[in-house]
């Protein structure tokens, strides 16, 4: 047993990266997809991944020891309950998020240098430029976000809103959640041109494309589509500094009709910034990945919203999983 504030606790935490790295490398080699249909030997797997047999064998054994794979005689296979979440052809796979975690490994490895102010390569938010990283990131957001999106949409009073604006809406996870809840509602999804095409495909597959207007653009450079009753910033503000968020709130303000509302879903930190724990950890993710992003307190968010012109600001929902929701209204 690992006791609180014991040597075992600290050593376990120090070593946990080893298990993470084994999973990440197995995912990058797509072993879970490769081994879901039939067992293969280490030699066969090495040939399939164009690898080094000694290294691949060691990785396979470690993955089997951790329960990610199974080994029988000299062959390895991926059990269905694992493949369901880690094979690339499963409809409920979280593989894109695992691959995203692998993609940010180099930035996290620079945390000490960052804390010392030592400059490094400009790799922040590279996934937004590299198509293969963008696909993984957007896929990850949908894979983990759909259940939460349904839960959050269910708790929002739409107040007869006829139009919904999903700002930086990715492939439409929250757009679809709100449209499912409110059949009469129409939506506009605004995101980068390359993301819009991912959204078009998903919305078409899910049968929502006829209720959604897709608008390509950058919320840093462009105005948002106007005439909206309800707008959402879902997991957006943590990528920005406070000044960038104020400007984004102003754009949302201009996009809303009088009396319209803005919803913000994100980590919202306690005044001392140590709760929720997931938010404090995610703030480090923004430290290493973005020039000025972070996780903000309710007071910081409220101050920015008031500066942008919003009133009736309130905390609609408090959560531990980036599921806190803040609401603000454009005066009537």
Q: Name the percent of the chain lying above pLDDT 90.
A: 86
Does CATH place domain 126-329 in 3.40.50.300?
no
The distance of Cα 153 from the centroid of its chain, to the nearest Å, equals 17
Average pLDDT over every residue of 242-271: 98
- With a cut of 80, say whether residue 2 has pLDDT above it: no
- pLDDT, residue 97, reads 87
- pLDDT, residue 124, reads 45
- pLDDT, residue 81, reads 97
- Domain 7-86 is in which class? mainly alpha
Average pLDDT over every residue of 263-289: 97
Burial class (CB in 10 A: 0-12, 13-18, 19+), 14: exposed
- pLDDT, residue 58, reads 98
pLDDT in tens, 31-47: 999 999 999 999 999 99
- pLDDT, residue 274, reads 97
pLDDT in tens, 102-154: 989 999 999 999 999 998 876 544 444 566 667 766 776 787 888 999 999 99
- pLDDT, residue 1, reads 46
pLDDT in tens, 45-104: 999 999 999 999 999 999 999 999 999 999 999 999 999 999 999 988 889 889 989 989
Domain boundaries, the chain: 7-86, 126-329
Which of 83-87, 137-141, 230-234, 241-245 is least confident?
137-141
Cα 176 from Cα 173, distance rounded (Å): 6
Q: Which residue has the tokens 């000490």?
A: 112
> Would you mind telling me the total number of residues written for the chain in this entry?
332
> What is the average pLDDT score of the chain?
93
Average pLDDT over every residue of 166-174: 96
- pLDDT, residue 117, reads 95
């Amino acid at each position: 047993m690992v006791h609180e504030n014991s040597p075992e606790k600290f050593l376990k935490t120090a070593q946990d990266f080893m298990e993470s790295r084994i999973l990440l490398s197995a995912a990058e080699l797509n072993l879970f997809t490769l081994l879901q249909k039939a067992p293969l030997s280490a030699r066969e797997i090495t040939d399939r991944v164009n690898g080094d047999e000694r290294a691949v064998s060691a990785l396979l054994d470690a993955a089997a020891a951790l329960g990610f794979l199974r080994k029988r005689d000299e062959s390895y296979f991926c059990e269905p309950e694992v493949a369901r979440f880690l094979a690339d052809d499963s409809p409920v796979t979280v593989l894109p998020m695992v691959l995203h975690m692998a993609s940010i490994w180099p930035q996290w490895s620079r945390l000490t240098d960052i804390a010392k102010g030592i400059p490094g390569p400009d790799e922040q938010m590279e996934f937004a430029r590299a198509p293969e990283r963008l696909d993984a990131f957007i896929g990850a957001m949908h894979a983990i976000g759909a259940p939460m999106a349904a839960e959050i949409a269910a708790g929002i009073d739409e107040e007869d809103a006829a139009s919904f604006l999903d700002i930086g809406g990715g492939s439409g996870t929250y757009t679809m959640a709100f449209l499912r809840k409110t059949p009469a509602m129409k939506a506009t999804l605004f995101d980068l041109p390359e993301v819009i095409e991912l959204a078009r495909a998903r919305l078409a597959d899910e049968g929502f494309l006829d209720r959604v207007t897709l608008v390509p653009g950058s919320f840093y450079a462009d105005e948002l589509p106007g005439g909206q009753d309800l707008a959402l910033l879902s997991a957006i503000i943590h990528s920005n500094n406070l000044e960038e968020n104020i400007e984004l709130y102003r754009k949302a303000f201009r996009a809303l009709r009088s009396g319209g509302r803005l919803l913000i879903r994100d980590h919202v930190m306690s005044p001392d910034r140590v709760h929720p724990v997931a938010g404090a950890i995610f703030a480090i993710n923004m430290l290493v990945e973005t020039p000025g992003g972070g996780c903000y307190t309710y007071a910081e968010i409220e101050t920015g919203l008031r500066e942008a012109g919003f009133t009736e600001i309130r905390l609609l929902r408090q959560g531990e999983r980036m599921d806190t929701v803040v609401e603000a209204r454009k005066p009537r």
